[in-house]
Amino acid sequence: MSDRFDPARADIRWQAAWDEAQCFRADDNSPKPRSYVLEMFPYPSGRIHIGHVRNYTMGDVLARYKRMRGHEVLHPMGWDAFGMPAENAAMGKGVHPGGWTRENIANMKAQLKRLGFALDWSREIATCEPEYYGHEQALFLDLYEHGLVYRKESAVNWDPVDQTVLANEQVIDGRGWRSGALVERRKLSQWFLKITDFADELLEGLGSLDKWPEKVRTMQENWIGKSQGMQFRFDLSNGEQLEVYTTRPDTIFGASFVAVAADHPVAQSVAMTNCDAAKFIDLCKQGGTTAAELETAEKLGFDTGIGAKHPITGEYLPVFIANFVLMDYGTGAIMAVPGHDQRDFEFATKYGLPISRVIAASADEAGKPFDGEAEAGDGICVNSGFIDGMPVAEGKAAVIARAEAEGWGEGKTVWRLRDWGVSRQRYWGTPIPFIHCEVCGVVPVPKKSLPVTLPEDVDFSVPGNPLARHPTWKHADCPQCGKPARRETDTLDTFVDSSWYFLRFASQPDDKPFDPAQIAKWLPVEQYIGGIEHAILHLLYARFWTRALARIGKIEVKEPFGSLFTQGMVTHETYTINRPPTEEEKRVFGWTDEAAHESITQYLSPNEIERRGEQVFEKATGRPVKVGRVIKMSKSKKNVVDPDEIVATYGADAIRWFMLSDSPPERDLPWSEAGIEGCARFVQRLWRLFGQFDASAEGEDKAVDRKAHQTVAAVAEDIESLGFNKAVARIYELAGVIEKAAPSASRSEAIRKLLLLVSPMMPHLAEEAYATFGEGLVANAMWPEVDPSLLVEDEVTIAIQVNGKLRDTEVVAKGLDKGSLEAVAVANAKVQAILSGATPKKVIVVPDRLVNIVA
């Protein structure tokens, strides 16, 4: 065995050996217990990001570990290959989205291979290939046949200059990212999936997901947003009725005005005759469509002059059109209670409307003024007629009961969850398989004609949807009447692609999306791993899609992901230097010489800096560099590192080890050059240790045996709970113990165990060393057995406290009874010194842990 482990040679050698032996190919017919380990598949942006390395290393360790425990493991990989970046590349660089994407996939696949992941590449899928999206179209038609797909009008961000629909991320401060034009909300007829039909199920289902993080379940619960409230009607002064919904019927006596959304029919009809109202509605249409934008915008309103008769007091309340009322939630109209809703409070303050208290902590506080903000909390009803004195919950029920008795309203459950709009006015996505016929209306493409494929010859020289302006593609004959008709030119949201890919991984027949029998065998995914940023949308859509397929009888499984883990981001320091502006910049930005002394802050990449002791300098110029905050790696801040370069310098095992070390996997992991060097040193340290394996060594070393068995048991637990950083710490400890131990059979056996323990984490090093043992591939080895009798210690160190403060420790036999422990503690010299003859008031004894003497 050579003294140094050479990753450059070993990585390639063992990756080839695994390929050759097809170690990681999942056998659909295996009799072994199954484990489906899945990491969220990547968008093929071109290069693997270090965050991917972290994600896939975690999954890989688990997959390899499960194999060692005798499981048949499905660990697949694919590409979420549709989406905007490919179109942006097409517009920016003049390349075809398909060519660009496929090239990226080839590059990233090679990068993943260099990291030595135990993936079943025979099941690789790319969502942009007709072999995948054709099946998606078929599933979409199945949902359509079962009434789960429909069309309705919905708002999009419209760029009036580029004449195109913008994604939310393309709207910056209310303006289009390319044109700079003020964005408008415009309505288009679009395709929707009836996720709201499943709102109850999706909410209920969360209860069974006990292996999901609590926070993700809470976020989904809030997102679905079930609320029980009251829907009721105001009689308007113009003779019409206005239906409103409220979650707080208990505050009805505090209503001081009524507000409707800008696109509410009442607002529209006012606008017909009142041009100020029409102008106001136009004003409301400015800006983007995101909730954050709508809710942080200044509260604006327009008094329609209409009065709404309060159903209990009979008083007339003014009706406003308000920009903070959402048409999509409830009825698009609200009763506003400024005292107990912050938005209403701000609005009332601005427009001088009454703010009255109807909830208070107690009856005596009925007259208490507000402290500059609404009070949304609990309490009892005050100034509220027949519900005075009732707690909030009781007040709600009483008001609903009265409304129902008098016929002007009723209790109603309302969901925050909206139906899923899947139409995208873009090229690089799954074509929606429908045809618009003037005679027959909207007609599905017959399944035998699937897939509807994207045309290759498209023009990205102007903004907008290339499908819509393609000269021939959209012309198709109506499948029903045969007359010339028009193809749907919208494509599907890419979240649809990622809502069923885990099913296709488990089974991929040519003639249908999947084989239900195989789905039943592999699903649910035993462990799903990905970023927290997918906590709501992707995970909710995938749950919905799975349930929808179950409801229409395509599969049995209802929840796709049995256990979910959300990993943290990889972060890095930022480096900046200040430099004076160039002549060019002075000219372009119009800086005068006086202003030009203000220097420009420029980011540097980790490659462009060097450390000399504590200080950091720019390599090229030697100027001092300012070290900034540790933040998420991003291209704009240049604080990125390239996994390929790391692998080339330190080897795959070192970067894998770094990804698992130190930070708990759910938290952020700060990348550091020093850290990766430490990992590379540990790889070599293990190599030297493995080289000391001596099958002929004799003699027993109980302490080493004990440590080895304890570590095997603990690391197994840590891996199963994805506590990789804890497993890493234990492996360091075991390595330290073995290094200090004298040669013995126990020591050699401990070295063998250590090798097996690290093999899921550093598979190349482990193979290289295991090869010298002559026992085949470690990838096919079994996890070491644990002797339970070696797990327990016979002595323990207990803490001796006086008044909860540590004063000493004592080593005692494990399991010593309370009385003896108390005697040991009281006899302790330091305790005696502190007590100085006094009798303890009380003694608390926790066996094997501590004794606390209360003096």
As annotated, the binding site for ATP includes 635
Rule CB under 7 A: say whether 578 interacts with RNA.
Answer: no
Q: Binders of RNA among 171-210, rule CB under 7 A?
A: 188, 190
- Which residue, 833, 848, 839, is CA-closest to 793? 848
DSSP 596: H
Site for RNA (CB under 7 A): which residue of 238, 289, 649, 744? 289
Q: Which amino acid is at 692?
A: Q
Rule CB under 7 A: say whether 618 interacts with RNA.
Answer: no
Instruction: Identify which range of 49-57, 244-252, 411-419, 580-588 contacts RNA by CB under 7 A.
Output: 411-419
Rule CB under 7 A: say whether 740 interacts with RNA.
Answer: yes
Rule CB under 7 A: say whether 732 interacts with RNA.
Answer: yes
Site for RNA (CB under 7 A): which residue of 246, 567, 759, 852? 852
With the C-alpha atoms ordered 540, 543, 544, 545, is the resulting torsion angle positive or negative?
positive
Instruction: Identify which range of 29-37, 441-449, 778-786, 792-800 contacts RNA by CB under 7 A.
Output: 792-800
Rule CB under 7 A: say whether 672 interacts with RNA.
Answer: yes
Q: How far is the CB of 628 from RNA (least distance, A)?
A: 12
Site for RNA (CB under 7 A): which residue of 300, 537, 627, 741? 537
CA atoms lying within 13 Å on the CB side of residue 227: 18
Binding mask 369-408 for RNA (x = CB under 7 A): ----------------------------------------
Q: Binders of RNA among 436-475, rule CB under 7 A?
A: none
Rule CB under 7 A: say whether 797 interacts with RNA.
Answer: yes
Q: How far is the CB of 166 from RNA (least distance, A)?
A: 7
Q: Binders of RNA among 340-369, rule CB under 7 A?
A: 342-343
Q: Binders of RNA among 630-669, rule CB under 7 A?
A: 630-632, 661-664, 667-669
Q: How far is the CB of 664 from RNA (least distance, A)?
A: 4
Rule CB under 7 A: say whether 615 interacts with RNA.
Answer: no
Residue with Cβ nearer RNA (282 or 295): 295
SS3 609: strand
Distance CA 562, CA 554 (A): 19
Rule CB under 7 A: say whether 714 interacts with RNA.
Answer: no
Q: How far is the CB of 566 from RNA (least distance, A)?
A: 9
Q: Binders of RNA among 30-49, rule CB under 7 A?
A: 42-43
Site for RNA (CB under 7 A): which residue of 26, 73, 149, 165? 165
Q: Binders of RNA among 475-494, rule CB under 7 A?
A: 493-494
The partner residues of 309 in beta bridges, in order of sequence, read: 235, 316
Rule CB under 7 A: say whether 83 interacts with RNA.
Answer: yes
Residue with Cβ nearer RNA (342 or 453): 342
- Which residue, 7, 1, 60, 8, is CA-closest to 35? 60
Residue with Cβ nearer RNA (234 or 671): 671
Rule CB under 7 A: say whether 758 interacts with RNA.
Answer: no
Contacts of 592 (CB under 8 A, 6+ apart): none
Residues flagged as binding site: 635
Residue ranges with strand state E in 137-237: 149-159, 164-166, 171-172, 175-176, 184-193, 226-236
Contacts of 534 (CB under 8 A, 6+ apart): 40, 566
Instruction: Identify which range of 250-258, 431-439, 459-467, 847-855 contacts RNA by CB under 7 A.
Output: 847-855
DSSP assignments along 381-445, one per residue: E-S-GGGTT-BHHHHHHHHHHHHHHHTSEEEEEEES---EE-EE--SSSPBP-EEEETTTEEEEP
- Which residue, 600, 636, 793, 832, is CA-closest to 709? 793
CA atoms lying within 13 Å on the CB side of residue 659: 28
CA atoms lying within 13 Å on the CB side of residue 396: 14
CA atoms lying within 13 Å on the CB side of residue 780: 12
Distance CA 459, CA 480 (A): 31
Rule CB under 7 A: say whether 616 interacts with RNA.
Answer: no
Instruction: Identify which range of 172-180, 217-225, 258-266, 552-560 contacts RNA by CB under 7 A.
Output: 217-225
Rule CB under 7 A: say whether 728 interacts with RNA.
Answer: yes
| CB of 766 closer than 8 Å to CB of 780 | no
Binding-site size for RNA (CB under 7 A) equals 98
- Which residue, 99, 110, 112, 24, is CA-closest to 66? 24
Q: How far is the CB of 558 from RNA (least distance, A)?
A: 21
